[in-house]
């Protein structure tokens, strides 16, 4: 009975995990828009979605642990389940950061940013969402070489973060805005780091035969 149920359960786990990836990527784009537009209603939507993320996280962990405990899977599926257990906490934490960014939509930052700062934030959001979409693709396709490519994009994100800090240090904005945007910049940077970390896990998922 376990043997016949296992493949479907593993597919369900993988499907739920891919949904987590999609929520992080899509909601990061939404959070950036909320921040730049001051759309507090969008923040409320993203905050409510946090419960969906938390529920998925719990479901995935429970299903994966059950499959491993019952020894109901083969070697390849076991590799997948172990990889899932390693990445879902990072996915959950990453969505927390997305919501943190959106939360600043009601701080009145949209009208206080300089044009240069707005451009930097827009670019950081775009690159961050792109990185997460690429990470999702690497996971789905078991592409062990994705981490190297994402490292390059993460360097671009780090450069933008440095530019953001420099713009904040110029003194063109009030201290409260500067403090808030310092935190927001850090959230974007950490999202890039998490995307790279998850992509590095794909090398294990892909198996030793795919390691250069």
Domain ranges of the chain: 2-210
Average pLDDT along the chain: 88
pLDDT at 3: 43
Q: How far is CA 210 from CA 75, 140, 148, in A?
A: 16, 15, 14
pLDDT at 9: 85
Give percent of the chain with pLDDT exceeding 90.
Answer: 58
pLDDT in tens, 90-148: 999 999 999 999 999 888 888 899 999 999 999 999 999 999 999 998 888 888 788 88
Q: Looking at the domain covering 2-210, what would its CATH class be? A: mainly alpha
Q: How far is CA 24 from CA 35, 84, 134, in A?
A: 16, 16, 12
DSSP state of 39: -
Res. 160: pLDDT tops 90: yes
Res. 69: pLDDT tops 70: yes
Instruction: Mark out the alpha helices in the chain (DSSP H runs).
Output: 2-37, 40-69, 75-103, 115-141, 146-169, 175-206
CA atoms within 13 A on the CB side of 53: 26
pLDDT in tens, 2-42: 443 466 788 899 889 999 999 999 999 999 999 999 988 98
């Amino acid at each position: 009975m376990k043997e016949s149920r296992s493949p479907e359960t593993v597919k369900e786990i993988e499907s739920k995990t891919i949904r987590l990836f999609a929520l992080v990527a899509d909601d990061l784009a939404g959070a950036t828009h909320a921040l730049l537009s001051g759309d507090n209603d969008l923040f409320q939507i993203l905050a409510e979605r946090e419960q969906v993320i938390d529920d998925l996280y719990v479901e995935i962990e429970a299903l994966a642990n059950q499959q491993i405990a019952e020894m109901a899977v083969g070697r390849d599926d076991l590799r997948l389940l172990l990889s899932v257990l390693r990445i879902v906490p990072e996915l959950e934490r990453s969505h927390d950061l997305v919501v943190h960014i959106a939360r600043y939509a009601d701080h009145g930052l949209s009208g206080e940013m300089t044009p240069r700062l707005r451009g930097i934030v827009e670019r950081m959001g775009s690159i961050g969402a792109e990185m997460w979409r690429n990470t999702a693709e690497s996971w789905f396709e078991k592409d062990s070489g994705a981490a190297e490519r994402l490292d390059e994009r993460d360097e671009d994100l780090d450069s933008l973060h440095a530019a953001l800090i420099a713009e904040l240090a110029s003194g063109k904005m009030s201290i409260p805005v500067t403090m808030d945007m310092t935190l927001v910049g850090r959230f974007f940077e950490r999202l890039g780091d998490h995307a790279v970390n998850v992509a590095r896990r794909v090398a294990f998922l892909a198996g030793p035969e795919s390691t250069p």
